[in-house]
Amino acid sequence: MTNNGDMWYPTKEGAENDRLRPIEVSIASSKNVLIDGPTFKNSPNFAFNPKNINNLIIRNLKIENEYYAQNGDAIDLSSCKNAIVYHCTVHAGDDGICMKSSGTTEKGTAGLENIIIAENVVYHAHGGFVVGSNTDAGMNNIWVTNCNFINTDIGIRIKSNKGRGGLVHNIFIDHIFMHDILNEAILFSSYYGDGAPGAVNKVSDDKTPLFQDFHMSDIYCNNAKTAISIIGLPDAQVNHLYFKDIKISAQKAVYMTEASDIDLKNVTIISPDKTVYNLTNTKNISH
């Protein structure tokens, strides 16, 4: 147990964690699953966590977790294939709609692939649409469209680090509407849990995160702290990102570290920052 002021929280480490803070609903190693219309509330850990499902439809689902809920993720898809998350409403104590992928896969395949996330609303979450932090089995072919993120800590949150990373590619995100985002409207981070770039990474160099071939268009955000932040690794830069028809108002503009081949077309950043694009070890930017 850990103490935070007048409240005690069960820690995540150790065997006691499974007993004290179970996932509210988990379906594993199944196929042809339909979840239509339930409401899940006040989960002690993740609210809904499908694992290793082939052919999955989640629609009209409501998650109602308090914002202070520890690790209170709403919908976490873990190593699923051929899945749709449609018309769901989320209040989360951690990530809202999150993609995870761990374990081993056949050569040339991804642990999580062929996913559609459409017409969802996320309130009060650490991230609206989230990738990671576990991406070591890879992710491929995800389409996120027509979603609203309101009062989330981060809007679009892509995160991993060495020891948990893999190839995440062919991601398409469009027609996203965000309002009052506490931190970044769009964030890529290859140092999740490791501190700032340049920090000593205590894990091995295997399972390196690689984010590439992301296509983002028709994204609008009113009021964020930072418009776009991209933080890659020196040996695995975030690369081949395509931004088109994007308008974001934010206190801080765009910051890129260890990134390459970034294409920006009709991207408008409304910010008091004197420098719109702040680049460190970043190359091949077209604007």
pLDDT value for 193: 80
Q: What is the 3-state secondary structure (H, E, C) of the chain?
A: CEEECCEEECCCCCCHHHHHCCCCECCEEEEEEEEECCEEECCCCCCECCEEEEEEEEECCEEECCCCCCCCCCEEEECCEEEEEECCEEECCCEEEEEECCCCCCCCCCCEEEEEEECCEEECCCEEEEECCCCCCCEEEEEEEEEEEECCCEEEEEECCCCCCCEEEEEEEEEEEEEEEEEEEEEEECCCCCCCCCCCCCCCCCCCCEEEEEEEEEEEEEEEEEEEEEECECCECEEEEEEEEEEEEEEEEEEEEEEEEEEEEEEEEECCCCCCEEEEEEEEEEC
pTM, two decimal places: 0.91
So what's the pLDDT on residue 4? 54
In the structure encoding, which two tokens stand for residue 73, read together?
């993720």
State the pLDDT at residue 107: 75
For residue 20, what pLDDT is reported?
A: 65
Q: What is the structure's pLDDT at 42? A: 93
Q: What's the pLDDT at 98?
A: 98
Report the candidate in 190, 88, 163 with the shortest Cα–Cα distance to residue 129. 88
Q: Which of 257, 159, 162, 158 is nearest to 201 (CA)?
A: 162
Radius of gyration of the chain (CA): 18
pLDDT of residue 30: 98
Query: What is the rounded (10 degree) CA torsion for 60, 66, 68, 69?
Result: -70
Question: Token pair for residue 50?
Answer: 């499908």
Given a cut of 50, the residues of the chain with pLDDT beneath it are 1, 200-203
Tokens of 214: 């992301």
**Bridge-partner residues for 248, per DSSP?**
221, 269
Domains of the chain with CATH codes: 24-286 (2.160.20.10)
pLDDT 10s digits, 151-182? 999 999 999 999 999 999 999 999 999 999 99
For position 198, what pLDDT does the model report?
Answer: 55
Task: Give pLDDT, residue 109.
Answer: 87
Q: What is the pLDDT of residue 5?
A: 57
| φ, ψ for residue 17, nearest 5 deg | -60, -40
pLDDT of residue 200: 45
Structure token digits, residue 245: 């028809």
